[in-house]
Amino acid sequence: MIALSNYVAGAWTPGSGDAKPLYNPATEAVLGEVRPGGVDHAAALAYARQRGGPALQALSFAQRGALLKQLSKKLHEHRDELIEISASNGGNTRGDAKFDLDGATGTLAYYAALGAELGEHRHLVDGDGTQLGRTPRFWGQHILTTRPGVGVHINAFNFPAWGMGEKMACALLAGVPVIEKAGTPSALLAYRMAQIVVDSGILPEGAFQFVAGSVTGMLDLCGPMDMVAFTGSAVTAALIRGNRNLVARNVRVNLEADSINSAILGPDVEDGSDTFEQFLANLHVDMTQKAGQKCTAVRRIFVPAAMLATVAEGLVERLGGTRIGDPADDNVRMGPVASQEQLRDVRAGIQKLLAVADAVTGGVEPLGERGYFVRPTLLRAKDARAQVLHELEVFGPCATLIPYSGEVGEVVDLVNFGGGGLVASAYSDDRGFVESLVAGIAPWHGRIWLGSEKTHGQALGPGAVLPATIHGGPGRAGGGEELGGRRGLMPYLQRTALQGDRAVVGKAFGNEA
């Protein structure tokens, strides 16, 4: 059994306080433990600010990008070992584990390439310069410089690798040191990755620290140059947003919370068409990949009433063919949920939805004698406007079919009842329908994924977060934004308007030759 320690101020130190066991969710075997205390929060922040920050800020974007490239390679070298940990402490099939791990190394590699593109600079130019005085002599130019603070990154349990990788890629490329906090139930994977990062010696001292225990006290010590990036539930997001110190000192906070994501089938789509097959295939992946524990997974499936039975039949067939079990078996396609608490919450959530929906397949009955397994559960709404359908995230292999008339205005209203989402996916070959739908739902979403005959087989489904485009969403989804290429660096940079002699402002800081 492994007792997880914290890497703070240049040393691994044990946790203290009551131990929380880490399980193999397929067998319920105890694999390790995490203790919440033992972290000197002030020392961690000081070490990052005094050691890691200056060392990173002395490097150019290209040099920091080169470090990210090495990190990506180093973690990839340990891929098989990390896949095994992801299966044992996380319940991930090999496919699920690769999705998380390759997502992490791929995002690090993406930002490494962006660093090379940004070149040997230490600041970025933001937009074109502009004349501010009576003559072009007095010139204005916005620039972006690295904030001398710390990225305090609080990660959810469901993507221990990708969550840490995507946050640290952006911060480190911007020149900001990071303190990574792992979600407890799956912390073994993040812990092993942290060991690899530290042992590699790739990053300057103080650029990377790791906390397995609690960071709650650290939030009370953050200052105006720091950045807290959180991923997790809406309940914890609200606690962090309300932290008195963060509010009083105007500390930047980015929140990625849960989301009642939608898939919408257009009224033009016929059974057997490529668009329809794409719709069913993506729904099947979203419901079963990582046992439905993806913040981007579809929870609400909007279908024209006339197609409801056909969609239900197609999904039941696919879900029925999904082999569920211990991911140690290579033939298994869906593992358990990550923890006993998750199992309890998912079952309670399905039970609540069953008050307003009928079960098409699945349900809350236990599956097997051991392990935290949930039946893939497809529900059919009795009342499309029942509030709980649009408010409750069941973080497991569960989604609800919701009929609509086929009229775009109606489905726009229903989708937006979700109060703000990470991603909505729409499947249609009717351009008019798609244009009206996008116009209606875009303000409520961070991302819209459009499936059609032309895109069939061309790309990863809507559940995949890609570094070139943003991840996040308004309202319920936390109101945050991460990634999106160069946009991902913005939380760590300060935009400053420079006003003065064009020879200095435009030439030394702007793009003028």
Residue ranges that bind ligand NAP, judged by CB under 6 A: 154-159, 181, 183-184, 215-216, 231-233, 236, 239-240, 256-258, 295, 393, 395, 422, 478
| Residue 210, helix vs strand vs coil | strand
Chain-centre distance for alpha carbon 265: 25
Residue 374 to residue 151: CA distance in whole angstroms: 36
- CB of 89 or CB of 184, closer to ligand NAP: 184
Distances (CA, A) of 488 to 31, 125, 254, 340: 35, 15, 11, 34
What 8-state DSSP symbol labels residue 455?
A: G
Residue 295, number of CB atoms within 10 A of its CB: 26
Query: Minimum Å distance from CB 324 to ligand NAP?
Result: 21
Question: Amino acid identity of 77?
Answer: E
- CB of 154 or CB of 379, closer to ligand NAP: 154
Q: Which residues belong to the active site?
A: 256, 295
Query: Minimum Å distance from CB 243 to ligand NAP?
Result: 8
Distances (CA, A) of 400 to 76, 232, 275, 384: 37, 22, 20, 10
* Cβ(117)–Cβ(468) below 8 Å: no
> CA nearest 206: which of 259, 164, 149?
149
- CB of 409 or CB of 443, closer to ligand NAP: 443
Query: Minimum Å distance from CB 79 to ligand NAP?
Result: 22
- CB of 27 or CB of 236, closer to ligand NAP: 236
Closest residue to ligand NAP, based on beta-carbon distance = 232
Q: Is 247 exposed, middle or buried (0-12, 13-18, 19+ CB in 10 A)?
A: exposed
- CB of 103 or CB of 304, closer to ligand NAP: 103
Query: Minimum Å distance from CB 238 to ligand NAP?
Result: 10
Residue 179 to residue 196: CA distance in whole angstroms: 15
Query: Minimum Å distance from CB 6 to ligand NAP?
Result: 12
